[in-house]
Each structure stands twice: as structure tokens, then as C-alpha cells.
């Protein structure tokens, strides 16, 4: 029986021009380069300019992904954009990207699953494409977390940054040498919603609020949740730590990434790490890392690429892609 698979056609990313180093943060809060690097692996992060909004970042990443795919905006009929830092309460940031690309057909909407947003968006897009409802989708992760940080709180402000990344997925019947999204697994457990949250919102405070986190608690749960959902991906496909070519995790924290890889038995040389350059960009971090490893020639056509993320909610998920 013939089946539709979502095949990756292109990937692109965008980081705002302004770079904030650990040395810059030392001027702002009581911290040190040594503490930040040792605890998180982060050295720099990018900060959106005054007036530069999430859809601006997303649009640039989308244009880069389309150029990489050799496609025109008119070829896209679905945009799924993951963000927790939308331009406005409504409409969806995705429709601003749609308008920016000059697309007037198809559909565009946002997904909100915090740091797991890109994996959630990928799974959503994949199901729409497999159903036959749409043909080509831009899956975007875009964030301006700098706007929800309490810049006087050293326990959070050193961790996050702004950025965007995008994939173009195309529905292909009967695959191309087994290429495409092989499986996705999504999980959430709202009992943990107070471990990582924003202390404001439309319906609760009529304001935006600031990010609050119990860092040690998040860390405590992260590795177990990430590895569980990766085991689910391996069980569903028969693949393993040995057969994957690349592990592209959510770029939150170097220690979480390293501990997850060790627990799963994934060789360090297969792990793509970019958190040092852009910090935790939430939903944007996986496509930013994918774009880096695609551009520098590490991820090649036919490679088996494992993605995972975990974030506020808690939400978590995995995806396995034959590139
Ligand atoms: N600079 C210097 N000292 C600091 C800083 C800082 N920026 N932040 C906290 N400290 C201090 C604390 O005040 C504490 O001091 P004390 O012992 O005098 O009270 C000390 O450092 C240790 O604090 P801990 O919170 O125990 O530090 P820990 O080793 O747990 O590291 C961190 C903190 C990096 C936040 C860690 O808990 C972590 O990585 N958690 C995961 C958080 C995460 O990645 N969240 C992202 C969102 S979720 C996701 O994407 C997976």
C-alpha cells in the first residue's frame, strides 16, 4: 500500500545581529563566565533589536529555508509556527509570516508547547501532510525570549536568547529511498506546570509577565523524560543509538544534552551542539542546530537524524527523520 511521507526539502535559520556575551552579563548581574560555561555551556546569545519582533525573525528563517529548498513562497500551502513569544496575543504570528511571504492560499497557525514547540509543530505538520490535506509546509520555531526575561534574575537571564529556524516539508508518496519523517512522539504532564512558567498572561494578569523557573527541578526531570521518549522512537522504528547518524537535541543546556547522550549510549561525535553560540532559544533551538549541521555538511541526504525536546508544561517529544 502506498503511503505519504513528509520529506525535508530545506532548512534555514536566523539570529538577530546583537550578540550578548557572558562578559556583558557580568556587567548586569552577579555572575561569571566560568559559572555560566560550567553549568550550561553557553558563551553567547543573540538579542532582537528594538522593534524587531518574532515574526521578523521567523520570516528570515523561512526565506532561508525556501532558498535552501529551491522553492518559491507560492509553493507553500501550510505554515505551522511554534512560539511562546508571539508578536501579539492574536492573530497568530504564523499569519504575519504568511503575509510577509506574500502567500494568500492555504493555512497558517501557531503552536504553543514552549521549548518542545518545534517537535510539536513537526508532528502536527507531518500529520496534516500524511493526511493529504496539504502538500508543502513551513515548520518554524521562532522566539524573542529576551522580552520575557527578568534581566535582574541571574538564575534565568543568562540562559536564554532570541532566534528562529525553519524546515520545509513536502508530502511525498512512497518516499524517496525511505526518506522523510519516520516517527514522532509527544508527551506532556501538567502537574509540573509551575516548575517553568511565565508569571503573567492575558486571562490571568492582563500583562505579559516574566519567565520563572525552578532550574534544579527542571534539570532533575529533563534527562529521564528526554530519554523515555527517545526510547519510544527507537521502539517504533527498530532504530537505535548505533544506527542514528546525528542527535540534534533541544539546545537548553550542555549538561542535559551530554547526560542524555550518555544514558542512551549515543557517541559524543554524533551530537550536534550549538547552545554555546545562541543559548536556549526555546522552540527555535532545534532548527537552528539543524541549519548549522546541514550548512557545514555534517547532516547529509539519507542520514538518520534524531530530534528531541523538553520544556515548560512539562512537555516533551522526539522525532526521527531520514534526511
Ligand atoms: N551566576 C552565578 N551563580 C548563580 C547563577 C548565575 N547566573 N545562577 C544561580 N547561581 C547560584 C545560585 O544562587 C546558587 O547559589 P547558592 O548555592 O549560594 O544558593 C548556586 O549558583 C547553585 O544554584 P543551582 O540552581 O543549584 O545551580 P545548578 O547547578 O542547578 O545550575 C541551572 C542551575 C543551570 C539553571 C541548572 O539547574 C539547569 O540547567 N537546569 C535546567 C534548566 C533549563 O535548562 N531550563 C531551560 C528550560 S527547560 C528546557 O529547555 C529543558
Share of the chain above pLDDT 70, in %: 99
Domains in the chain: ranges and CATH:
4-173 (3.40.47.10), 180-322 (3.40.47.10)
Res 227 pLDDT > 60? yes
What pLDDT, in 10s, does the model give residues 261-272? 999 999 999 999
Q: What is the arithmetic mean of pLDDT over 88-93?
A: 98
Q: Is 156 in the pocket of ligand 1 (CB under 6 A)?
A: no
Res 203 pLDDT > 60? yes
Output the pLDDT for position 1: 55
Output the pLDDT for position 2: 75
What pLDDT, in 10s, does the model give residues 148-193? 999 999 999 999 999 999 999 999 997 788 999 999 999 999 999 9
| Beta carbons within 10 angstroms of residue 279's beta carbon | 30
Please identify, by atom number, the ligand 1 atom nearest to the C-alpha of residue 40. Answer: 34
Nearest CA to ligand 1 atom 11: 155
Confidence of residue 317 (pLDDT cuts 50, 70, 90): very high
Please identify, by atom number, the ligand 1 atom nearest to the C-alpha of residue 154. Answer: 7
Res 207 pLDDT > 90? yes
Nearest CA to ligand 1 atom 41: 219
Res 38 pLDDT > 60? yes
Output the pLDDT for position 63: 98
- Residue 69 CA to residue 167 CA, distance in Å, equals 9
Q: Which residues of 225-254 are buried (b: 16+ CB within 10 A; e: fewer)?
A: bbbebbbbbbeeeebebeebebbbbbbbbb
Q: Is 31 in the pocket of ligand 1 (CB under 6 A)?
A: yes
- Residue 136 CA to residue 286 CA, distance in Å, equals 20
Res 6 pLDDT > 90? yes
Please identify, by atom number, the ligand 1 atom nearest to the C-alpha of residue 160. Answer: 46
Q: What amino acid positions are annotated as catalytic residues? A: 115, 250, 280
Q: From the CA of 274, how far away is ligand 1's center (Å)?
A: 20
Res 275 pLDDT > 70? yes
DSSP letter, residue 89: S
Res 81 pLDDT > 90? yes
Q: What is the arithmetic mean of pLDDT over 73-94?
A: 98
Q: Is 218 in the pocket of ligand 1 (CB under 6 A)?
A: yes
Nearest CA to ligand 1 atom 24: 216
Q: Is 21 in the pocket of ligand 1 (CB under 6 A)?
A: no
Res 12 pLDDT > 80? yes
DSSP letter, residue 42: -
Q: Which residues of 211-224 are buried (b: 16+ CB within 10 A; e: fewer)?
A: bbbeeeebeebbbe
Q: Give, for ligand 1, the residue of 153, 224, 253, 313 to mutate: max count of ligand atoms closer than 8 Å to Cβ.
A: 253
Whole-model pTM?
0.97
Res 99 pLDDT > 90? yes
Q: Is 280 in the pocket of ligand 1 (CB under 6 A)?
A: yes
Q: From the CA of 35, how far away is ligand 1's center (Å)?
A: 9
The answer to whether 282 and 145 are in contact (CB under 8 A) is yes
Amino acid at each position: 500500500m502506498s503511503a505519504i511521507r513528509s520529506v525535508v526539502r530545506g532548512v534555514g535559520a536566523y539570529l538577530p545581529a546583537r550578540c550578548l556575551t557572558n562578559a556583558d552579563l557580568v556587567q548586569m548581574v552577579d555572575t561569571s563566565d566560568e559559572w555560566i560555561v560550567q553549568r550550561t555551556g553557553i558563551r553567547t546569545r543573540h538579542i532582537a533589536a528594538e522593534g524587531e519582533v518574532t515574526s521578523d525573525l521567523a520570516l528570515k528563517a523561512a526565506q532561508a529555508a525556501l532558498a535552501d529548498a529551491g522553492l518559491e513562497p507560492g509553493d507553500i500551502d501550510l505554515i505551522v509556527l511554534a512560539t511562546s513569544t508571539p508578536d501579539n496575543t492574536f492573530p497568530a504570528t504564523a499569519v504575519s509570516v504568511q503575509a510577509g511571504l506574500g502567500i494568500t492560499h492555504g493555512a497558517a497557525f501557531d503552536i504553543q508547547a514552549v521549548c518542545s514547540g518545534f517537535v510539536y509543530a513537526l508532528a502536527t505538520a507531518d500529520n496534516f501532510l500524511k493526511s493529504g490535506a496539504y502538500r508543502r509546509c513551513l515548520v518554524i520555531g521562532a522566539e524573542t525570549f529576551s522580552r520575557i526575561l527578568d534581566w535582574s534574575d541571574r538564575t534565568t537571564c543568562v540562559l536564554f536568547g532570541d532566534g528562529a529556524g525553519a524546515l520545509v516539508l513536502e508530502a511525498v508518496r512512497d518516499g524517496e529511498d525511505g526518506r522523510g519523517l519516520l516517527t514522532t512522539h509527544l508527551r506532556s504532564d501538567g502537574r509540573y506546570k509551575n516548575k517553568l512558567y511565565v508569571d503573567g498572561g492575558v486571562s490571568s494578569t492582563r500583562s505579559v509577565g516574566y519567565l520563572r523557573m525552578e532550574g534544579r527541578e527542571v534539570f532533575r526531570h529533563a534527562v529521564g523524560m528526554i530519554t523515555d521518549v527517545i526510547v519510544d522512537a527507537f521502539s517504533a522504528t527498530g532504530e537505535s543509538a548505533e544506527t542514528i547518524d546525528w542527535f540534534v537535541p533541544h539546545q537548553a543546556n550542555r549538561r542535559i544534552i551530554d547526560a542524555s547522550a550518555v544514558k542512551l549510549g549515543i557517541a559524543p561525535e554524533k551530537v550536534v551542539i550549538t547552545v554555546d553560540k545562541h543559548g536556549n532559544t526555546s522552540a527555535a533551538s532545534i532548527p537552528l542546530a539543524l541549519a548549522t549541521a546541514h550548512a557545514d555538511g555534517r547532516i547529509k541526504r539519507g542520514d538518520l537524524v534524531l530530534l528531541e525536546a523538553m520544556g515548560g508544561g512539562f512537555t516533551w517529544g522526539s522525532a526521527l527523520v531520514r534526511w
